[in-house]
Chains A and B, each alone.
Chain A
Amino acid sequence: MEAPPASRRSLTANDRRLLERLVRECGPRLLAYVRHVHGNRFDAEELLAEALCRAASNMAALRRCDRHDLYLLRIVRNLCCDGWRRSRDLGAGRSRPEQGSESGPEELLSQREQQAILRQAVAKLPQAQREVVVLRLTTDLKFEEIAALLDVPLGTVLSRMHAAVRRLRERIGCTREC
């Protein structure tokens, strides 16, 4: 993680309360985003803490924005992208997101295992499609908001979602039928 900016102003009690509220409200979704999109490449909790520290370094901007979840999500995503870029530059191998445990056919019917299969299927999607699926299903963002966050056209987001659903249906259908 990078060192926090030096030009920080002191946190007031109100700032602290706002940050703690954001941890409660957005923390789980942000962690889910990191884990499902980027797997165990990052320490998701540390990354969330770092994102909050970065947000705290510019409390004025955080207070100004009307969508705190999007603001934090953008920071988290930037941190992840920086991490990806650094590890790629260092020549590290890519790691897939949490894939769940491989299980025998007799356990596939249980809900827990079924969810593991679904997570596994999501983890095997290409990064761009996976990100759209996770953002749509875990953070409940609108497609327009996802497009703004990813800085791509709306059509691209819809196309990625469509391709991801088609792949997932193929994969899940195959798994269920097999």
Chain B
Amino acid sequence: MACEDRPPDETSAELGARLAQDPDLRAELVQTRALLNDLRAALRPAPLTATALTRIQQRLDQLAGACTPSGWRWLRIVGLAAAATVLLTVLAPWRLPRGAPTAFELSGDDAAAIVMACRQLAWSGKLDYDLQRVADELDEIRQQINQDSGGDCRVRWGAGNDWDAPPDSPGPGAMQNRAGHRLTCAPPFAGRPSGTRTPGTLRDQAS
């Protein structure tokens, strides 16, 4: 029978009964089990040799090599890197780190637009911030510029013109037009403890 190599406890009760009655069958079972045990020993798998392991390792290495990015994938990676570089190059001047020589120009119209935007935001009451004061300060700067150069001036507004620095600090705290005039101005939140906010200031004023 096919299941002869199973342990005795796995044999069915019927088979057990037959084995108990038939000594020849019992002897045959013992012989068959011995044969299967011998066969198991003869066919026992040998451990992998070093040569076999090396060959398999090499095939897996080849496979890993074949799995490196294909031409299209490389092209995509290079394209993304180039796009990121261009983006960083374009956006770098806008970061305006302290001490950097880059600057952008702010015209009188730009300043007026900013003043308007700040006033609208402040009046809408959506922002919990004292934008009215910022707008006033910007408006004052714009008017000063117009007075100096008849409205046709461009302000160099770069990292060297830290208008948000304290007014008593040397160097920054002033803006300079092309004519070389220094345009001193107070910082928007000067005279107020830092970190304090005045929510609803404009609404209070309006009421």
A binds B: yes
B63 touches A11 (CB 8 A): yes
Known contacts: A8-B66, A122-B43. The answer to whether A137 contacts B60 by CB under 8 A is no
Q: Give the residue of B31, B46, B67 whose beta carbon is less than 8 angstroms from that of A31.
A: B46
Tell whether B13 is near chain A: CB-to-CB under 8 Å.
no
Residue of B nearest to A32 (CB): B45
Tell whether B91 is near chain A: CB-to-CB under 8 Å.
no
- Measured CA separation A48–B49 after assembly (Å): 13
- Measured CA separation A37–B17 after assembly (Å): 37
Task: Point out the residues of chain B lying under 8 angstroms from A114, CB to CB.
Answer: 38, 42
Segment of A70-78, A102-110, A157-165 in the binding face: A157-165
Interface size class of A (residues with CB under 8 A): 35 or more
Question: Total contacts A to B, CB within 8 angstroms?
Answer: 108
- Measured CA separation A133–B69 after assembly (Å): 45
**What are 8 A-B contacts with C-beta separation under 8 Å?**
A4-B63, A23-B48, A32-B43, A45-B55, A49-B59, A161-B2, A165-B2, A168-B35
Which residues of B are interface residues toward A (Cβ below 8 A)?
1-5, 31-32, 35-36, 38-48, 51-53, 55-56, 58-60, 63-64, 66-69
Which residues of A are interface residues toward B (Cβ below 8 A)?
4, 8-11, 16, 19-20, 23-24, 27-29, 31-32, 36, 45-46, 48-50, 52-53, 56, 114-116, 118-119, 122, 133-134, 136-138, 143, 157-162, 165, 168-169, 172
